Amino acid sequence: MAQNFDLILRNGTVCLPHGEAQVSIGVTDGRIAAIGGLTTATATQDIDCTNLHILPGVIDSHVHFREPGLTHKEDIATGTLAAIAGGVTTIFEMPNTEPLTITAETHRDKMARADGRAFCDYGFYIGGCDGNAHDLAELERLPGCSGVKVFMGSSTGALLAAEDDVILRILQSGTRRLCLHAEDEARLIERKHIAADSADVKTHPEWRDAECALRAVKRAVALGRKSGRRLHFLHTTSADEMAYLQAHKDIASVETTPQHLTLFAPDCYERLGTRAQMNPPIRSREHRDALWAAIHDGTVDTLGSDHAPHTLDEKSKTYPSSPSGMPGVQTMLPVMLDHVNAGRLSLMRLVDLLAHGPQRVYGICGKGRIAAGYDADFAIVDLKAQRKITDRWIKSKCGWTPYDGMQVTGWCTGTILRGQVVMWEDEITVKTGAAGRPVRFTETLIESTITETGHVTAPVHTCCT
Ligand code: DOR
Ligand code: ZN
């Protein structure tokens, strides 16, 4: 008897774990049920993917959506809408929100707000700080928690763990890989006058220089070794960090961003002004070249967009009062596909950075690979499509992108979330964000159970109620 599926993707070139192959994918109940010829199989929905490549749905493990406070900038609905418009099927949201996500209550509030409103699957970080260091072993195990994030240097919001003793206490509480924004706070304070005196955004990478990042990375690695914890260095930006981290890959994994691989100083500040301002900063061409070398030699594990959607009104303040950060969740895939077309990396390496890497680093259950039994999350791309990225295309509430006017080759044709087509040819094909579900993690499985509707339930924690 012929096999029957809910959905079949036919005739595409599929990025399987071992390489590209011309196969069909059969989906049942939101999961990948079969991979192969499937010539006699039937399905409720049959999608012809001739001339298209099928990638695992992109996992963006670094976004700032701001909810619950500051929702004029973004919220879980608009942020995840922007995500699916750009082939992203999973996001992890950062804890420097208002209020800070540093307690069980604030985490649960975010989970409740996402329920029924998120257009893609999600996880939330807990922020690590002096005040909650002793609770982190419990907090990092909350259902839907993607891990603990520490800001070693001040950035947007009040979250900070600047001193070694605080960072060590954070590291000694819990076991999951700790995510770090590594800039040395003492050096930031010491050099702030460079930014303040100049009032010129071009000095941003001088104020927050490569030495500032390297010092923090070295301190964190030493503390990681002392405590026996694994570390994930977010948005690494410099040649110096890459050279150092290569020698510490046993405990350190590494993220960089599409904007640090694409933009460079001083050009970006001359063209974009404070729109190019982010932390850690966009640096010189030499640093950008070193990031590409680290993509090629495998030092980099993941790409994150660091989507930080400040409004243009806020960005128009005089530097350094202007906020740091730029949107990126929707542009990450097309910008990187353009790099693939320019021959800067292979499509399979991109899949490694956007899906296999995050799956491995965060221990994500059943996502990030096109393999039988995995969630049927896909980004279906047309590698040959030539398009222009414009502010008008941006779904994020902020309504702008640093890539406005950029001509790219390679575009996301469709986004599929657990078997459901949520975007096709730039049209959002679902009415509301009811489809998004919390992600589960291999290290905290015992806490989370998925109900029949896909919701995560958890036993009550005495410490966290
Ligand atoms: O540029 C940045 N913006 N870097 C950060 O670390 C935080 C982010 C934000 O939240 O706006
Ligand atoms: Zn960030």
Q: Which ligand minimizes its atom distance to the CA of 310?
A: 1
The yes-or-no verdict on residue 464 having pLDDT over 80 is no
| Mean pLDDT across 62-72 | 90
The segment(s) of the chain belonging to CATH 2.30.40.10 are 4-51
The yes-or-no verdict on residue 117 having pLDDT over 90 is yes
Q: pLDDT value at position 462?
A: 39
pLDDT tens-digit series, residues 411-422: 999 999 999 999
Q: Is the CB of 276 under 6 A from ligand 1?
A: no
Establish whether 306 is a catalytic residue.
yes
- Topology, domain 54-420: TIM Barrel (3.20.20)
The yes-or-no verdict on residue 459 having pLDDT over 80 is no
Ligand 1 center to 308 CA (angstroms): 6
User: From the candidates 240, 306, 352, 375, which is the catalytic residue?
Assistant: 306
Q: pLDDT value at position 2?
A: 83
Q: Within 13 Å, how many C-alpha atoms sit on residue 232's CB side? A: 25
The yes-or-no verdict on residue 463 having pLDDT over 50 is no
The segment(s) of the chain belonging to CATH 3.20.20.140 are 54-420
Q: pLDDT value at position 456?
A: 59
Considering only residues 14 and 69, tell me which one the structure prediction assigns the higher pLDDT: 14
pLDDT tens-digit series, residues 144-178: 999 999 999 999 988 999 999 999 999 999 999 99
Q: Is the CB of 237 under 6 A from ligand 1?
A: no
Chain-centre distance for alpha carbon 224: 23
Q: pLDDT value at position 451?
A: 54
Q: Around ion ligand 2, which residues have CB less than 5 A away?
A: 306
Ligand 1 center to 325 CA (angstroms): 5
User: What is the distance between the alpha carbons of residues 331 and 350, in angstroms, rounded to a whole number?
Assistant: 14
| Mean pLDDT across 134-152 | 98
Tokens 């192959």 sit at which residue?
Answer: 21
Which atom of ligand 1 lies nearest, measured to the CA of 310? 11
User: What is the distance between the alpha carbons of residues 407 and 404, in angstroms, rounded to a whole number?
Assistant: 9
Which atom of ligand 1 lies nearest, measured to the CA of 94? 10
The yes-or-no verdict on residue 454 having pLDDT over 80 is no
Q: Give residue 461's pLDDT band: very low, low, confident or very high (50, 70, 90).
A: very low
User: What is the distance between the alpha carbons of residues 195 and 189, in angstroms, rounded to a whole number?
Assistant: 11
Query: Which three-class secondary structure state does DSSP give residue 77?
Result: helix
pLDDT tens-digit series, residues 228-263: 999 999 999 999 999 999 999 999 999 999 999 999
Ligand 1 center to 157 CA (angstroms): 8
- Topology, domain 4-51: Urease, subunit C; domain 1 (2.30.40)
Q: pLDDT value at position 358?
A: 98
pLDDT tens-digit series, residues 5-45: 999 999 999 999 999 999 999 999 999 999 999 999 999 99
State the DSSP H helix or E strand holding residue 190, giving kind and residue range, or none if neither: helix 185-198
N- to C-terminal Cα separation, the chain:
52
Instruction: Let me know: does 68 contact 381? Beta carbons within 8 Å.
Output: no
Q: Which residues in 49-183 belong to E strands, given as ranges?
A: 53-56, 58-63, 88-93, 121-127, 145-151, 178-181
Say what percent of the chain tops pLDDT 90. Answer: 92
